Amino acid sequence: MLIPDNAAPLSIAMLGLILGMRHATDADHVIAVTAIVSGERRIGAAARIGIAWGIGHSLMVILVGGAIILFKLTVPPRLSMALEFAVAIVLVMLGISVLMRSSRRLANFFGLNPDPDEMFAHTHAHEHEGIAHVHPHAHQHDVEHSAVHSHDSHEFTRSGRFARGSHLRAFGVGLVHGLAGSAAVALLVLSAIPNPMWGLVYLAIFGIGTVAGMALITMAIGLPVSLTAQRLGNLNHALAIGAGLLSLGFGLFLVYQIGFVEGLLIGGLPAI
């Protein structure tokens, strides 16, 4: 639907916000952040991961999409396919990363040696003030495979590094998703909003909507992860494994779909 040049700014703002929040629910977006959030144990941390992903995605959409709008650039179809293929590879890598982090057995099966400082978790019974309960508990294995227990923290993460790494990972994944989707978003804006300046305003508000939508999504994903981390360590572990398998499986599906069904790999990579 074409929006005229003199359209009310509020209409453009509402449209961009709603479509930005809707854009955050795309399957590849949700699966990617699910894989990252699966390692978190707090809803607030999950929301920050969603915000980091949304900022990365929105930054790339504004930069690349804005250039397409202002300079009337065209993106070759095969280049667009190659960018979507990059998203598929990222999903595969995320899935493998989650699976390796969640299971030493899987890491050993694939011949990967985990970081000696890696914290592998299990459930462990504790008694505090006469009340027995279960926490997900981490073992830190040294190079001699002797277990060093730490009861000071029940975080299912590496010592202080996982949260920061998750935010950076989410931001980077958001950049890749934004790069892959910026052309389609920009073309939609060009077809609906003829005025380039209003188009840029739309992209900015679209980005705000994407950040907000992804923050809500990651909070929703983080809720069962947080709840099961407190009492149901085995279920929590199963959720992490499931998130890794989902990301890996969907990524491999996209690799096959884009690379072979749509012919990207068969026809060769585009010249960039």
The stretches of the chain forming alpha helices (DSSP H) are 9-23, 27-37, 43-60, 66-71, 77-102, 104-109, 162-192, 196-231, 233-256, 264-267
Q: What's the confidence (pLDDT) of residue 10?
A: 80
Q: What's the confidence (pLDDT) of residue 221?
A: 95
Q: What is the pLDDT of residues 216-256, one digit of tens each?
A: 999 999 999 988 887 788 898 899 999 999 999 999 999 99
Terminal C-alpha separation, the chain: 33
Mean pLDDT of the chain: 81
pLDDT-based confidence at residue 24 (cuts at 50, 70, 90): very high
**Rounded mean pLDDT, 23-40:** 95
Tokens 């202080």 belong to residue: 160
State percent of the chain over pLDDT 90: 54
Q: What's the confidence (pLDDT) of residue 268?
A: 53
Q: What's the confidence (pLDDT) of residue 52?
A: 97
Rg of the chain, C-alpha, whole Å: 21
pLDDT-based confidence at residue 152 (cuts at 50, 70, 90): very low
CA–chain centroid gap for 4, Å, is 35
Residue 171 to residue 176: CA distance in whole angstroms: 9
Domain ranges for the chain, please list them. 9-113+164-267
Residue 132 has pLDDT above 60, yes or no: no
Q: What is the pLDDT of residues 91-103, one digit of tens each?
A: 999 999 999 888 7
